[in-house]
Amino acid sequence: MTITTRFAPSPTGDLHLGGAWTALASWALARSAGGRTVLRVEDVDTPRVVAGSAERIVADLAWLGLDWDEGPIAQSSRTAAYEAALARLDAAGLTYPCDCSRAEIARAASAPHAGEESGETIYPGTCRDARRDRDFKRLPATRLRVPKDARVAFEDGVRGAIEEDVARVVGDFVLRRGDGVFAYQLVVAIDDAEMGVSHVVRADDLLGSTARQLLLMRLLGYPSAPAYAHVPLVVAPDGARLAKRTPGATTRELAAAGVAPEAIVGALARGLGLVAEGSGPLTAREVAARLRPPSAWRRTPWAMPRAWAGA
C-alpha cells in the first residue's frame, strides 16, 4: 500500500512551530516510505480566515523544504461534496435540525458527570425527536443522530489502543452550524476519505475528534479509514500553549531573525523524537531518511528553545 499523508492548516495566521512540527512529521512519514503527501487548506470556517494567510503558510512550508504531490486544495472549493454527504446522512434518517442555543444546552446538560471524559458539553438530545416542521427559535444547526451502539476503536501510532463510545462521551454532534458553515468533523472525515489519505498525523489536542470522524466515515459508507498518529504540542519555553503573541512562535519570525530552516527542522525533529538525539541542523529530506517509527516519537509537550523566543 502506498502511504498518503496530508497536512491541513487553517489559514488563520502564519505557520507556527506546532504546525511546522506536524507538517514535518506527516511529510517525513510519507517520504520515508516513498509515499505521497497532500496539502489541504481548511478554510471552510470563513469567518476565521485571515486574508493572505494561506499563501504565507504555503511559502513557509516550502522554505522549510517541504513539498507536496497534490494541492493546495481549499476546502471552500469542495462544498458540493459536503452537501452530497449531508444529503446521504439525511436520507438515512441520521440527521435532525436543532435550534438550541449554547446556553440552553449548557443548562440542560448541567447534571453531574456530563462531558467529564471528553471535556465537552454532551448534547442532551433536546431536539432529537422534535418535529422537523416546527417553528424554529433561530436558524437551526444540523446534528448527527448518533447510533446508541456507536463504539469506535482504533490503534493510534503514538498513543496505542483507543476505544470510545461516541453516544455516551460526545452525544449527537453538529454537522452544520446554523449559519450554514459545515462543521470540522464532517468536512475532515469526507476529505480524508475522498482524498485517499492513509495516515493522519496531527496534534493530540485533536485526539478527541478521531472517533467522531471514523464514525462518520463508517456511516457514509467509505470503504476504508486512515491510520492515526497524534503527536504532542509544541509549547512556549514556560510551558504555556503557543499563541499569536508568543515571541518567536512562527517560522516567519524565526526566518526574519536569521534562523536557518535546517536549524528549525533539526531542532523539531530531535526534540519531538522523529530522529535520534545527537544530530545538528537537518534538512527535511535528511529527517525522512532517518525517521523513527511513530511509536518512538515523543508523547509529552515539547518546549521550543528559549533562544528562539528572543529571536
Q: Are residues 250 and 212 in the same domain?
A: no
One-letter amino acid at 270 equals R
The set of catalytic residues is 244
Q: What is the pLDDT of residue 111?
A: 47
CATH number at residue 67: 3.40.50.620
108-143 pLDDT, tens digit per residue, is 755 444 444 445 678 988 999 988 888 888 899 999
Q: Are residues 88 and 46 in the same domain?
A: no
A 10 A CB-CB count for 311 gives 16
287-311 pLDDT, tens digit per residue, is 999 999 999 999 999 999 999 987 6
Identify whether the C-beta of residue 169 lies closer than 8 Å to the C-beta of residue 200: no
Cα→Cα distances 189→125, 155, 221, 226, Å: 23, 17, 12, 10
Q: Are residues 162 and 263 in the same domain?
A: no
Is 47 part of any domain?
Answer: yes
Structural domains of the chain, count? 2
Q: What is the pLDDT of residue 80?
A: 97
Is 30 part of any domain?
Answer: yes
Q: Are residues 220 and 119 in the same domain?
A: yes
**Averaged over 219-224, what is the pLDDT?**
96
Cell 446538560 found at = 109
Range of the domain at 47: 4-77+232-309
Phi and psi dihedrals of 150, rounded to 5? -80, 70
Q: Which grid cell sits at 176?
A: 452544520
Q: For a pLDDT cut of 70, what percent of the chain falls above it?
A: 95
CA 164 to chain centre: 18
